[in-house]
Every structure is written in C-alpha cells, then in structure tokens.
Amino acid sequence: MMYHAIKFLHNIIVRPVPDGITDAEWFHGCRAFEYSESEFKLKTRIKEYPNMNLVSIEEWKELISSLDEPANVPNNNFKPTYVKHDKWDTNRPIY
C-alpha cells in the first residue's frame, strides 16, 4: 500500500494514499509526498530527521482547525509599550 506524508511547517502526518489531502490542508500550505514503502518504515525514516515532528491524527486535526479560526491566537503574551502616567506623577515634561 502507498502512503502520503503530509507536511505543514515542521509537522508531518502519515496517511494512506486513498485518504488524500483535504482542500483546507492544501489551502494552508500543506503538501503531500507519496511513498511506496510500509507505514512503519516511513514513520521510522521521518523520526530520523531532527527538525521534523511526527504527529498523531488528533494533533493534526487540532493544528488544522486552529488555522481556520482567526480568533485562536497561539501566543497571547503581548506586553504593552505605552506607559500610562498618573496625573499626580512627578515626572511629567515641562513645556
């Protein structure tokens, strides 16, 4: 049986070729690479690459669904740069 290795950034999932790639995955930049070796050999070969992360089906679905939700911000640790001064603060500029 032939398998697809579907890649998005540093994440890879292995699925059978008949499952294909969805329109949403293609729209977000996922690309499929077709291999004719067994699933075990393919997963073993992917794990040898240090910068690739083999993900499960649940992790993959969560990753793709998070790309479709613009309100889902993966990192919400923003620090404001504006400092609001109190009216009694003594370090006001003099004009």
Query: 56 CB contacts (<8 Å, ≥6 apart)?
Result: 13
User: One digit per residue, pLDDT tens: the chain, 95 residues?
Assistant: 788 888 888 888 888 888 888 888 888 888 888 888 888 888 888 888 888 888 888 888 888 887 776 555 555 555 667 777 677 766 666 66
This prediction has a pTM of 0.62
Torsion of CA 42, 9, 4, 24, to 10 degrees: 160
**Distance of alpha carbon 90 from alpha carbon 12, whole angstroms:** 57
- Measure CA 29 to chain center: 11
